[in-house]
Amino acid sequence: MLDLSNIISAMKLTTKEEDYLETIYLLSRDTDKVALTDIARERGVTLPTVFSALSRLKRNGMVTQPHYGKIALSSDGEKLGAEIFGTHRIIRRFLDEVLQLPADVAEATACRMEHGITIEAVKRLEMLINIMRNCDGKNAGCLMEYKERLHP
Amino acid sequence: MLDLSNIISAMKLTTKEEDYLETIYLLSRDTDKVALTDIARERGVTLPTVFSALSRLKRNGMVTQPHYGKIALSSDGEKLGAEIFGTHRIIRRFLDEVLQLPADVAEATACRMEHGITIEAVKRLEMLINIMRNCDGKNAGCLMEYKERLHP
DNA sequence: AAATAATATTAGATAAATCTAACATTGTCA
DNA sequence: TGACAATGTTAGATTTATCTAATATTATTT
């Protein structure tokens, strides 16, 4: 059977394009249509930078925008944005809940590591986190020992 | 106390500069002096690309090169190269030995993920790998369960 | 509705990272 | 040792990603 999600994943955006798409994805969960100013503020760049990044995302069919108007995600953009953010969440959880890094460090590091990991690796990472977090049984052992060694 | 390793780490190279430095570090373990051609072959780019990358690494004080001569790592380049490669090895071990990804996928993914992880996170990741790999005791439990769920 | 504020766009500059094509230097070997 | 091959350098183009300054459009507010 034809699996579109692989096609979407295979569309290789640059690291920065992925970052902008993720930002737009997050902003559009609140507002649906996203203003360039909000993207600029969120990513800490100037408006012309956002503008030119968006022209590349438009060319890739990830977003649409009427002249002088606000940004909307295409259905591809929606899917890929969700995928990128999903990856971000799993990596952040691993850094935070397993490696016990401070929340802000985990967040910042996840931003940098989320690019270039395969879907398969993300799935496995999630599986591992879930097994280790299941603290009822024996499997919490290594996480316990890790925490003990971390703060003796 | 003054810790120079942090100063070296703090020198922020671009992702690509780090990649070239790592390649040079690996090549110079065999030959000491490294030819541009070898770097180009290893990284799959053309000679002029290597040349211009090297001019940036020279500017950053990571490598030295006499006119029409071969590349040598500076002591900073040596230290940072070792650090980058060390990070690469730990991430690859995690992907390979823990997540059980195929060796080639683990290698390729490590190349992409190794940038932007902090030294602290790498240390913790190594600690976790070592605890999980210690298969004598109870701590292997979660790795066992992970493997079982992976290949039921 | 006109003035002002906010937002989006264009123009033009810079740096990184790549390429091809042309040229220079060094090394090898017949 | 001189020709040819290998290696390194320069020149010039392209794309991404960023900036500042100037301009255009839309929204708000008096």
Residue B101 near chain A (CB below 8 Å) = yes
- Topology given in CATH for the domain delimited by A13-73: Arc Repressor Mutant, subunit A (1.10.10)
Q: Which residue has the higher pLDDT, B148 or B73?
A: B73
A126-141 pLDDT, tens digit per residue, is: 999 988 877 555 555 6
Query: Searching chain A, which residue's CA lies closest to the CA of residue B112?
Result: A116
B64-77 pLDDT, tens digit per residue, is: 999 999 999 999 99
Measure A68 CA to C8 C1' (Å).
5
Residue B13 near chain A (CB below 8 Å) = no
* pLDDT (mean) for A35-41: 98
Residue A112 near chain B (CB below 8 Å) = yes
Query: Searching chain B, which residue's CA lies closest to the CA of residue A123?
Result: B99
A96: closest CA among B4, B8, B115, B121? B121
B74-108 pLDDT, tens digit per residue, is: 999 999 999 999 999 999 999 999 999 999 999 99
pLDDT at A79 over 80: yes
Write out residues 78-97 of A within 8 Å (CB-CB) of B.
Answer: 95
B123: pLDDT confidence band, cut at 50, 70 and 90? Answer: very high
B2: pLDDT confidence band, cut at 50, 70 and 90? Answer: low
Give domain B12-73's CATH number out of 1.10.10.10, 1.20.1250.20, 1.20.120.160, 3.30.750.24: 1.10.10.10
Q: Do A146 and B125 touch (CB under 8 A)?
A: no
pLDDT at B5 over 90: no
Mean pLDDT of chain A: 90
Q: Do B99 and A138 touch (CB under 8 A)?
A: no
How would CATH label the architecture of A86-150? Orthogonal Bundle (1.10)
Q: Which residue has the higher pLDDT, B81 or B12?
A: B81
What pLDDT is recorded for position B121? 95
Domain boundaries, given as residue ranges, for chain B: 12-73, 89-150
C-beta of residue A62 within 8 angstroms of C-beta of residue A12: no
Burial A89-122 (b: 16+ CB within 10 A, else e): ebbbbbbbebbebeeeebebbbebbbbbbbeebb
Q: Which nucleotides of C are covered by protein (CB under 7 A)?
A: 6-12, 16-22, 25-26
Distance from CA of B28 to the nearest CA of A (A): 27
